[in-house]
């Protein structure tokens, strides 16, 4: 870094919203040729700015910053050294003095402290080149994706309740995820945040990896180790809103700089937070560069964008009269929509093979379509409808599920309109919603059986998979961010066998192409039993594209009642043989052991408009997978 590298082109890009790596100019950087540190901050309406810190005894008179074009202030400090704490003392446009953390700081003081730190990001010796090259060639739509979502501070803790570091987490997490068969880990926000109880979703440091769990190099180690095991890393990222904390972005220079001046545009009353002004070019540069920073510096493999619906709609969580309509009189946030298109285009162009995930709960169209086709450009969208409908069904008494059968079938009405992830996230196991296993209706055994059946149904259904930590071994109480998961439950058979089942289910999913090969059309899905609401049975076939001359076909059947169905007849497209290949009622998973014969003949006995049928046994509260081998005479040329 040299002094002459700072200005003109970089400033122009920042001020016009086109900067993709503004972090190379802004913030604190060492000037190698002089040994000084250069501090650069955007405060266009400030009357004056000083950088204060441990290097000058927090004296604002020692290092005043010089105003520069583009609303920037710059200072060079010879006394600063790596690790020093600092802030900007901003004499605001409103005449008030503000001590602000550096919006572009790479590292921060451990909370409750709020200072930034002078930090030279180490030239970490990465070992993931092979992984990154493979990632760039991967089409995730045609690959298995099974995501393990986690909160770093409560996955594991020391006996005294202190956090595991990034390195300690990596050393336990990597072998665990490898054993369990998850393809990706999604980490709740690790950008710096002042309040543990926000779970990281109220960010003050958009370039600062949180100091709660160690240093930037420690986090690099964690990512590198996960890549070494072939596991991708997704980071939750929050460009929708930011907190009101005095040291943060709000009224940064005495004016509404990152947020709108009008409270109806710049505030989210329900959350008590501020909304970004996406129409301001510098805000676009700030946010796009933050996302790029985590790809560039930390080799992140994807981002889940939190609260996208709140960005898309001006009236999100607001009544009439509480928001300002767009220039056409509508409720769409046109600036936010343009920002999201830019964000996804920039990241996916620079880093093909990563995933950009929208947590979007409305029916906004074309979320996962490319911007050139009018879409937002995300790789995947959370299917919140599937999650809500299916959980409501599973919470219903077995006797009355027939009245909610549509909760299971409706998802296929829109399954191919977007590229979906089926999310069962932390939001579903907090605030009195109960844990996943405790949501299930029934007695103790039925709860576990129902959860196994439900997971089997989810993994067969079109869409990528997503579970929150603890769901894989049926954590019984709700998630508590202040304590670690109840790992002691694995001493009990019901939880240990649930974990065994999830390990088997992940392995099965990745091994069988029919479950992930075609997720965007009816060519990969065929209803077998869709309307048997009286027995609460769902059956469908998943179908792959031809590979080595063979099309893989797997029939998934779920019995959502505790009643065993013997000689249950299902319609089939042609004659052949069904072979049971996975049964959630297997005793090794905690089931009752009801199973099928090794081979079941599919005969030329017409049923429900199909030319063939078979009679199978359905265990209680169970999902069973069958491999379907057609008779050779039935196979089409080229299959």
SS3 string, 200-224, reads: CCCCCEEEEECHHHCCHHHHHHHHH
Residues 6 or more apart in contact with residue 166 via CB below 8 angstroms: 152, 213, 214, 215, 218, 219, 221, 222
42 - beta bridge partners?
72
Q: Nearest CA to 53 among 26, 22, 75?
A: 75
Active-site annotation holder among 359, 360, 383, 586 = 359
Q: What is the DSSP string of 549-576?
A: TB--EEEEEEE-SSS-EEEEEEEESS-E
Measured between alpha carbons, how far is 539 from 571 in angstroms, rounded to an integer? Answer: 10
| Lateral strand order in the sheet of 576-583 | 525-532, 537-543, 553-559, 622-630, 576-583, 600-602
Q: Nearest CA to 219 among 168, 154, 176, 177?
A: 168
Contact 205, 293 (CB under 8 A): no
Is 359 a catalytic site residue? yes
Measured between alpha carbons, how far is 558 from 540 in angstroms, rounded to an integer? Answer: 9
Active-site annotation holder among 267, 306, 418, 428 = 306
Q: Nearest CA to 558 among 541, 536, 577, 573?
A: 536
Q: Give per-residue burial for 391-429: e unless 16+ CB within 10 Å, then b.
A: bebbbbebeebeebbebbeebbeebbebbbbbbbbbbbb
Counting Cβ atoms within 10 Å, is residue 343 exposed (0-12), middle (13-18) or buried (19+)?
A: buried
Q: Which residues are catalytic?
A: 306, 359
């Amino acid at each position: 870094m040299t002094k002459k590298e700072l200005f003109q082109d970089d400033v122009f890009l920042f001020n016009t919203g086109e900067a993709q790596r503004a972090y190379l100019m802004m913030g604190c950087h060492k000037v190698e040729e002089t040994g000084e540190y250069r501090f650069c901050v955007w405060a266009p309406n400030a009357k004056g700015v000083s950088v204060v810190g441990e290097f000058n005894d927090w004296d604002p008179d020692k290092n005043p910053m010089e105003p520069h074009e583009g609303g920037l202030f710059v200072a060079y400090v010879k006394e600063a050294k790596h690790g020093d704490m600092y802030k900007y003392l901003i004499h605001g446009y409103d005449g008030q003095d503000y001590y602000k953390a550096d919006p572009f700081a790479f590292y921060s003081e451990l909370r409750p402290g709020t200072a930034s730190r002078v930090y030279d990001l180490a030239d970490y010796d990465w070992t993931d080149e092979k992984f990154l090259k493979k990632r760039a060639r991967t089409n995730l739509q045609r690959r298995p994706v099974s995501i393990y979502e986690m909160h770093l501070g409560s996955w594991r803790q020391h006996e005294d309740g202190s956090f595991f570091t990034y390195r300690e987490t990596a050393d336990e997490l990597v072998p665990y995820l490898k054993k369990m068969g998850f393809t990706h880990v999604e980490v709740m926000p690790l950008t710096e945040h002042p309040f543990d109880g926000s779970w990281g979703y109220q960010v003050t440091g958009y370039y600062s990896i949180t100091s709660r769990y160690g240093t930037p190099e420690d986090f690099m180690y964690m990512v590198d180790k996960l890549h070494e095991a072939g596991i991708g890393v997704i980071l939750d990222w929050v460009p929708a809103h930011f907190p009101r904390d005095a040291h943060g972005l709000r009224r940064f220079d005495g004016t509404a700089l990152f947020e709108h001046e009008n409270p109806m545009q710049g505030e989210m009353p329900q959350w008590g937070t501020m909304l970004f002004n996406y129409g301001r070019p510098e805000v676009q540069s700030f946010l796009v560069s933050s996302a790029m920073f985590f790809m560039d510096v930390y080799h992140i493999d994807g981002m889940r964008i939190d609260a996208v619906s709140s960005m898309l709609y001006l009236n999100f969580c607001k009544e009439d009269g509480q928001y300002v309509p767009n220039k056409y009189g509508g409720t769409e946030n046109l600036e936010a929509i343009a920002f999201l298109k830019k964000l996804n285009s920039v990241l996916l162009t620079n880093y093909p093979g990563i995933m950009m995930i929208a947590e979007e709960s409305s029916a906004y169209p074309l979320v996962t379509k490319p911007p050139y086709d009018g879409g937002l450009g995300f790789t995947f969208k959370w299917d919140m409808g599937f999650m809500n409908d299916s959980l409501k069904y599973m919470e219903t008494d077995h006797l009355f599920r027939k009245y909610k059968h549509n909760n299971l079938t409706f998802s296929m009405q829109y399954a191919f309109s977007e590229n979906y992830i089926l999310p069962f996230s932390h939001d579903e196991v907090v605030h009195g919603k109960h844990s996943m296993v405790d949501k299930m209706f029934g007695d103790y055994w039925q709860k576990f059986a129902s959860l196994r059946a439900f997971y089997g149904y989810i993994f067969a259904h079109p869409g990528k998979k997503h579970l929150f930590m603890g769901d894989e071994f049926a954590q019984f109480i709700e998630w508590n961010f202040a304590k670690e998961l109840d790992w002691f439950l694995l001493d009990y058979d019901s939880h240990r066998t649930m974990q065994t089942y999830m390990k088997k289910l992940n392995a099965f999913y990745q091994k069988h192409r029919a479950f992930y090969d075609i997720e965007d059309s009816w060519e990969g899905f065929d209803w077998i039993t869709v309307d048997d609401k009286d027995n609460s049975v769902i059956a469908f076939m998943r179908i792959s594209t031809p590979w080595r001359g063979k099309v893989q076909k797997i029939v998934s059947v779920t019995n959502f009642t505790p009643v065993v169905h013997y000689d249950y007849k299902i319609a089939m497209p042609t004659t052949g043989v069904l072979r049971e290949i996975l049964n959630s009622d297997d005793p090794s998973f905690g089931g009752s052991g009801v199973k099928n014969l090794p081979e079941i003949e599919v005969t030329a006995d017409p049923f429900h408009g199909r030319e063939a049928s078979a009679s199978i046994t359905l265990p209680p509260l169970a999902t069973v997978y069958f491999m379907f081998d057609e008779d050779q005479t039935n196979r089409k040329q080229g299959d």
